[in-house]
Amino acid sequence: MTYGETAVRQTVDRLLRDHRDLDAAADGALDSLDQFHIGGAGAVELLIPTLALTPGDVVLDVGSGFGGPARQIARRTGNHVVGIDITPSYVDAARDLTARAGLGDLVQFRAGDIAGFQPDPPFDAAITMHVQMNVRDKTTWFRHIAERLAPGARLALWEVCQPHQADLPWPMPWSLDGTDSFVVSADTLLGSVKDAGFTEVEWTNESTWVQGWITRTFADGLPAGPALPMLLDDGYTRVINYATALADGSLEVWRGCFTKDADQA
Protein backbone atom coordinates (compact mmCIF):
# COMPACT_ATOMS: atom_id res chain seq x y z
CA MET A 1 0.00 0.00 0.00
CA THR A 2 1.45 3.37 -1.03
CA TYR A 3 0.27 5.34 1.99
CA GLY A 4 0.95 2.57 4.49
CA GLU A 5 3.26 4.38 6.88
CA THR A 6 1.86 3.93 10.39
CA ALA A 7 4.53 5.54 12.60
CA VAL A 8 4.74 8.98 10.99
CA ARG A 9 4.16 10.88 14.23
CA GLN A 10 6.86 8.88 15.98
CA THR A 11 9.26 9.58 13.12
CA VAL A 12 8.47 13.29 13.33
CA ASP A 13 9.16 13.19 17.09
CA ARG A 14 12.54 11.56 16.49
CA LEU A 15 13.53 13.96 13.70
CA LEU A 16 12.65 17.02 15.76
CA ARG A 17 14.45 15.65 18.81
CA ASP A 18 17.53 15.24 16.62
CA HIS A 19 17.23 18.90 15.58
CA ARG A 20 16.49 20.66 18.86
CA ASP A 21 17.63 23.96 17.40
CA LEU A 22 14.61 23.92 15.08
CA ASP A 23 11.72 26.09 16.28
CA ALA A 24 8.62 24.38 14.88
CA ALA A 25 6.58 27.52 15.48
CA ALA A 26 8.85 29.69 13.32
CA ASP A 27 7.56 30.69 9.89
CA GLY A 28 8.85 28.19 7.33
CA ALA A 29 10.70 26.02 9.86
CA LEU A 30 8.90 22.85 8.80
CA ASP A 31 8.73 23.54 5.05
CA SER A 32 11.17 20.76 4.15
CA LEU A 33 9.22 18.24 6.21
CA ASP A 34 5.51 18.81 5.81
CA GLN A 35 4.94 19.72 2.13
CA PHE A 36 3.96 16.44 0.37
CA HIS A 37 4.23 17.76 -3.21
CA ILE A 38 6.88 19.01 -5.61
CA GLY A 39 7.61 22.71 -5.23
CA GLY A 40 7.28 22.82 -1.46
CA ALA A 41 6.14 26.02 0.19
CA GLY A 42 6.81 27.98 -3.00
CA ALA A 43 4.04 26.10 -4.78
CA VAL A 44 1.57 27.00 -2.04
CA GLU A 45 2.58 30.64 -2.38
CA LEU A 46 1.57 30.45 -6.05
CA LEU A 47 -1.88 29.12 -5.10
CA ILE A 48 -2.79 31.44 -2.23
CA PRO A 49 -3.51 34.59 -4.31
CA THR A 50 -5.72 32.63 -6.71
CA LEU A 51 -8.06 31.70 -3.84
CA ALA A 52 -9.03 35.40 -3.51
CA LEU A 53 -9.75 34.94 0.20
CA THR A 54 -11.57 37.54 2.26
CA PRO A 55 -11.74 37.77 6.06
CA GLY A 56 -13.88 35.00 7.50
CA ASP A 57 -13.52 32.64 4.53
CA VAL A 58 -12.87 29.01 5.46
CA VAL A 59 -10.68 26.86 3.21
CA LEU A 60 -10.88 23.12 2.56
CA ASP A 61 -7.63 21.23 1.87
CA VAL A 62 -8.48 17.92 0.16
CA GLY A 63 -5.80 15.28 0.66
CA SER A 64 -4.05 17.40 3.28
CA GLY A 65 -1.18 15.00 3.99
CA PHE A 66 1.08 16.28 6.77
CA GLY A 67 -0.69 19.65 6.79
CA GLY A 68 1.98 21.97 5.43
CA PRO A 69 -0.21 23.81 2.90
CA ALA A 70 -3.08 24.21 5.37
CA ARG A 71 -0.80 25.74 7.98
CA GLN A 72 0.87 27.96 5.41
CA ILE A 73 -2.47 29.34 4.18
CA ALA A 74 -3.60 30.02 7.76
CA ARG A 75 -0.30 31.71 8.65
CA ARG A 76 -0.29 33.89 5.53
CA THR A 77 -3.96 34.90 5.47
CA GLY A 78 -5.38 34.43 8.96
CA ASN A 79 -8.19 32.31 7.50
CA HIS A 80 -9.37 29.05 9.01
CA VAL A 81 -8.45 25.87 7.13
CA VAL A 82 -9.85 22.35 7.44
CA GLY A 83 -7.83 19.48 5.99
CA ILE A 84 -9.17 16.03 5.18
CA ASP A 85 -7.08 12.96 4.33
CA ILE A 86 -7.78 9.23 4.06
CA THR A 87 -4.60 8.15 5.89
CA PRO A 88 -5.09 8.29 9.69
CA SER A 89 -1.36 8.35 10.48
CA TYR A 90 -0.91 11.39 8.23
CA VAL A 91 -3.78 13.16 10.01
CA ASP A 92 -2.21 12.36 13.39
CA ALA A 93 1.10 13.81 12.22
CA ALA A 94 -0.65 16.89 10.78
CA ARG A 95 -2.40 17.55 14.09
CA ASP A 96 0.85 17.13 16.00
CA LEU A 97 2.78 19.48 13.71
CA THR A 98 -0.06 22.02 13.90
CA ALA A 99 0.11 22.00 17.70
CA ARG A 100 3.88 22.43 17.56
CA ALA A 101 3.43 25.36 15.19
CA GLY A 102 0.90 27.01 17.51
CA LEU A 103 -1.80 27.07 14.84
CA GLY A 104 -4.43 24.85 16.45
CA ASP A 105 -6.89 27.72 16.64
CA LEU A 106 -6.87 28.17 12.86
CA VAL A 107 -6.23 24.71 11.39
CA GLN A 108 -8.04 21.42 11.96
CA PHE A 109 -7.74 18.02 10.32
CA ARG A 110 -10.14 15.14 9.77
CA ALA A 111 -9.50 11.55 8.77
CA GLY A 112 -11.83 10.30 6.05
CA ASP A 113 -12.91 10.34 2.43
CA ILE A 114 -14.22 13.54 0.86
CA ALA A 115 -17.24 11.56 -0.40
CA GLY A 116 -18.47 11.04 3.17
CA PHE A 117 -17.64 14.50 4.52
CA GLN A 118 -20.69 16.69 5.17
CA PRO A 119 -19.65 20.22 6.20
CA ASP A 120 -22.14 22.82 7.34
CA PRO A 121 -21.89 25.51 6.10
CA PRO A 122 -20.08 24.83 2.81
CA PHE A 123 -16.52 26.03 2.32
CA ASP A 124 -15.58 29.31 0.66
CA ALA A 125 -12.51 27.94 -1.15
CA ALA A 126 -10.53 24.72 -1.57
CA ILE A 127 -7.13 23.46 -2.59
CA THR A 128 -5.85 20.05 -3.60
CA MET A 129 -2.20 19.34 -4.31
CA HIS A 130 -0.85 16.11 -5.81
CA VAL A 131 -3.88 13.99 -4.96
CA GLN A 132 -5.84 13.12 -8.13
CA MET A 133 -3.04 10.82 -9.42
CA ASN A 134 -4.50 8.15 -7.11
CA VAL A 135 -8.09 8.72 -8.24
CA ARG A 136 -9.45 6.68 -11.16
CA ASP A 137 -12.84 8.43 -11.53
CA LYS A 138 -11.67 12.01 -11.46
CA THR A 139 -14.95 13.66 -12.49
CA THR A 140 -16.82 12.06 -9.60
CA TRP A 141 -14.04 12.98 -7.19
CA PHE A 142 -14.02 16.62 -8.24
CA ARG A 143 -17.81 16.62 -8.06
CA HIS A 144 -17.53 15.55 -4.41
CA ILE A 145 -15.29 18.56 -3.84
CA ALA A 146 -17.75 20.86 -5.61
CA GLU A 147 -20.57 19.62 -3.39
CA ARG A 148 -18.62 20.80 -0.32
CA LEU A 149 -18.18 24.34 -1.68
CA ALA A 150 -20.42 27.38 -1.83
CA PRO A 151 -21.48 28.60 -5.30
CA GLY A 152 -18.74 30.75 -6.77
CA ALA A 153 -16.10 29.32 -4.42
CA ARG A 154 -12.60 28.99 -5.83
CA LEU A 155 -10.66 25.76 -6.24
CA ALA A 156 -6.86 25.83 -6.62
CA LEU A 157 -4.99 22.83 -8.03
CA TRP A 158 -1.33 21.80 -8.13
CA GLU A 159 -1.29 18.51 -9.99
CA VAL A 160 0.82 16.01 -11.90
CA CYS A 161 -0.05 15.24 -15.52
CA GLN A 162 1.40 12.93 -18.17
CA PRO A 163 1.70 14.56 -21.60
CA HIS A 164 2.23 11.28 -23.44
CA GLN A 165 2.43 7.57 -22.74
CA ALA A 166 5.72 6.71 -21.08
CA ASP A 167 7.09 4.08 -18.73
CA LEU A 168 7.57 5.80 -15.39
CA PRO A 169 10.34 4.81 -12.96
CA TRP A 170 8.63 3.35 -9.92
CA PRO A 171 8.35 3.95 -7.03
CA MET A 172 6.95 7.47 -7.14
CA PRO A 173 5.74 9.61 -4.21
CA TRP A 174 2.12 8.62 -4.94
CA SER A 175 2.59 4.99 -6.01
CA LEU A 176 5.09 2.27 -5.18
CA ASP A 177 4.53 0.15 -8.28
CA GLY A 178 2.08 2.00 -10.53
CA THR A 179 -0.95 -0.16 -9.71
CA ASP A 180 -2.69 2.73 -7.91
CA SER A 181 -1.49 5.49 -10.25
CA PHE A 182 -3.99 7.09 -12.63
CA VAL A 183 -2.06 9.99 -14.15
CA VAL A 184 -3.71 11.58 -17.19
CA SER A 185 -2.91 14.38 -19.62
CA ALA A 186 -3.51 18.02 -18.72
CA ASP A 187 -6.38 18.21 -21.23
CA THR A 188 -8.07 15.15 -19.75
CA LEU A 189 -7.71 16.44 -16.21
CA LEU A 190 -9.06 19.85 -17.20
CA GLY A 191 -12.08 18.17 -18.78
CA SER A 192 -12.79 16.22 -15.60
CA VAL A 193 -12.71 19.36 -13.47
CA LYS A 194 -15.07 21.19 -15.82
CA ASP A 195 -17.43 18.23 -16.05
CA ALA A 196 -17.60 18.23 -12.25
CA GLY A 197 -19.12 21.73 -12.20
CA PHE A 198 -16.20 24.15 -12.27
CA THR A 199 -15.35 27.01 -14.62
CA GLU A 200 -11.73 27.57 -15.60
CA VAL A 201 -10.04 30.77 -14.44
CA GLU A 202 -6.46 29.66 -15.09
CA TRP A 203 -4.75 26.45 -16.22
CA THR A 204 -0.97 26.80 -16.51
CA ASN A 205 1.94 24.44 -17.10
CA GLU A 206 4.35 25.13 -14.24
CA SER A 207 6.96 22.52 -15.21
CA THR A 208 9.62 25.13 -15.94
CA TRP A 209 9.07 26.73 -12.54
CA VAL A 210 9.29 23.27 -10.94
CA GLN A 211 12.57 22.52 -12.71
CA GLY A 212 14.02 25.71 -11.29
CA TRP A 213 12.82 24.78 -7.82
CA ILE A 214 14.40 21.33 -8.10
CA THR A 215 17.71 22.84 -9.20
CA ARG A 216 17.78 25.27 -6.27
CA THR A 217 16.52 22.80 -3.68
CA PHE A 218 18.94 20.01 -4.53
CA ALA A 219 21.94 22.14 -5.52
CA ASP A 220 23.89 20.74 -2.57
CA GLY A 221 22.49 17.21 -2.80
CA LEU A 222 19.66 15.58 -0.89
CA PRO A 223 18.54 17.45 2.25
CA ALA A 224 20.08 16.25 5.49
CA GLY A 225 16.83 16.68 7.39
CA PRO A 226 14.43 16.84 8.84
CA ALA A 227 12.96 16.33 5.37
CA LEU A 228 9.85 14.86 3.79
CA PRO A 229 11.53 11.73 2.30
CA MET A 230 12.41 10.65 5.84
CA LEU A 231 8.69 10.20 6.58
CA LEU A 232 8.05 7.92 3.57
CA ASP A 233 8.94 4.33 2.84
CA ASP A 234 11.84 4.43 0.34
CA GLY A 235 11.33 8.18 0.31
CA TYR A 236 14.54 9.32 -1.36
CA THR A 237 14.17 6.88 -4.25
CA ARG A 238 10.63 8.09 -4.84
CA VAL A 239 11.69 11.74 -4.90
CA ILE A 240 14.61 11.07 -7.25
CA ASN A 241 12.43 9.07 -9.65
CA TYR A 242 9.85 11.85 -9.71
CA ALA A 243 12.48 14.49 -10.44
CA THR A 244 13.89 12.30 -13.22
CA ALA A 245 10.47 11.92 -14.89
CA LEU A 246 9.91 15.67 -14.72
CA ALA A 247 13.34 16.34 -16.21
CA ASP A 248 12.84 14.05 -19.23
CA GLY A 249 9.30 15.30 -19.92
CA SER A 250 7.50 12.11 -18.93
CA LEU A 251 5.55 14.12 -16.36
CA GLU A 252 4.42 17.74 -16.02
CA VAL A 253 3.09 19.86 -13.16
CA TRP A 254 0.07 22.06 -13.80
CA ARG A 255 -1.45 24.82 -11.67
CA GLY A 256 -5.13 25.60 -11.93
CA CYS A 257 -7.72 28.00 -10.58
CA PHE A 258 -11.45 27.37 -10.99
CA THR A 259 -14.75 28.64 -9.66
CA LYS A 260 -17.67 26.48 -8.70
CA ASP A 261 -20.54 27.05 -11.12
CA ALA A 262 -23.35 29.02 -9.55
CA ASP A 263 -25.98 26.51 -10.70
CA GLN A 264 -24.29 23.61 -8.86
CA ALA A 265 -26.09 22.55 -5.70
Question: What band does 10 get if pLDDT is binned at 50, 70 and 90?
Answer: confident
Superfamily of domain 8-260: Vaccinia Virus protein VP39 (3.40.50.150)
- In this prediction, residue 35 carries a pLDDT of 84
Q: Could you tell me which of 132, 135, 123, 138 has the C-alpha nearest to residue 159?
A: 132
Question: What band does 148 get if pLDDT is binned at 50, 70 and 90?
Answer: very high
Residue 169 phi, psi (nearest 5): -85, 100
Averaged pLDDT, 18-41:
77
Question: What band does 11 get if pLDDT is binned at 50, 70 and 90?
Answer: confident
pLDDT at 1 over 60: no
Q: Could you tell me which of 69, 65, 75, 66 has the C-alpha nearest to residue 41?
A: 69
Provide the residue ranges of all domains of the chain, joining segments of one domain with +.
Answer: 8-260
**Hey, which residues does 45 pair with through a beta bridge?**
none
Question: What band does 80 get if pLDDT is binned at 50, 70 and 90?
Answer: very high
- Total-model pTM: 0.92
For 83, the enclosing helix (H) or strand (E) is strand 80-85
Over residues 167-223, the pLDDT tens digits come to: 999 999 999 999 999 999 999 999 999 999 999 999 999 999 999 988 988 887 766
